Amino acid sequence: MEFINQLIAWDKSLFLTLNSYHSNFWDGFMWIFSSKLIWVPAALSLLYVIYKDKKGEFFFIFAGLILTIVMCDQIASSLFKPMFERLRPSHELGDLVHLVGGYKGEQFGFISSHAANVFGLAMFTSLIFRFKPYTIAIFLWALVNSYSKIYLGVHYPLDIICGGLTGITCALIVYLLYRYLKRNTGFVYKPVAGARATSTGIEYKHLWFVISILLLTIYFIAAFGKEMIRFIK
């Protein structure tokens, strides 16, 4: 019990340290970065690449993505949060927390469903693509996306860490299920002759396209985040 109390105290202290670094620019950047709609183009580019290069497996992969997100979200929101009932810092620490636009989130925050979802997506797609530059890019995206919730004052670091680990675990389970179904449906991947592709059959140029969309989206957030904060506050 003493260890748990020390861990919680450390968690709160680390949160207050991380949350104390803020500015108008980062308020806008983190607010937009953590939103869902801004990443629609990147999500569509992912689906396009999967459909383009793995048509025969598209249903399995798309279903795997959906299942991963649903598992992550339900485990976080319907299991852990009601079980532990740990208040978010925005509901527990009062004026010590830097909030953006007065947003506090729902009452309980352990574990972070946001972190579970983004790390689940990152893990599942990195296993499907097997392309190191994409893996680095998507996990950095998931890390910043998760950290934005600490910046915005609605999650403790342990909420994020445990949420991320949950997402990775769910993605691994779903990926193993995908591999099992793939083997038992008689599907055999036939690579395109002469194509520069990963071991799983995704062309490099298509993956660079996805990475480019991610980078362009981040550039847009950085360029216009400070301006958009005016509509938040």
CB 217 within 8 A of CB 38: yes
14 in any annotated domain = no
Length of the chain as a residue count = 233
12 in any annotated domain = no
In the chain, the number of structural domains is: 1
212 in any annotated domain = yes
Residue 81 has pLDDT above 90, yes or no: yes
**Cβ neighbours of 78 (radius 10 Å):** 11
Binning the chain into helix, strand and coil, the percentages to the nearest 5 are 75, 0, 25
Q: What local confidence, expressed as pLDDT, does residue 193 receive?
A: 47
Three-state secondary structure readout of 110-141: CCCHHHHHHHHHHHHHHHHHCCHHHHHHHHHH
More confident call, 58 vs 139: 139
Whether the pTM exceeds 0.85: the reply is yes
136 in any annotated domain = yes
How far, in Å, CA of 221 to CA of 30, rounded?
9
68 in any annotated domain = yes
Q: What local confidence, expressed as pLDDT, does residue 231 receive?
A: 57
pLDDT tens readout for residues 182-197: 877 765 555 554 568 8
Domain that holds residue 146: 54-101+109-187+195-231
42 in any annotated domain = no
Q: What is the maximal distance between C-alpha atoms in the chain?
A: 62
- The fraction of the chain above a pLDDT of 90, given in percent, is 76
CB 34 within 8 A of CB 149: yes
48 in any annotated domain = no
10 in any annotated domain = no
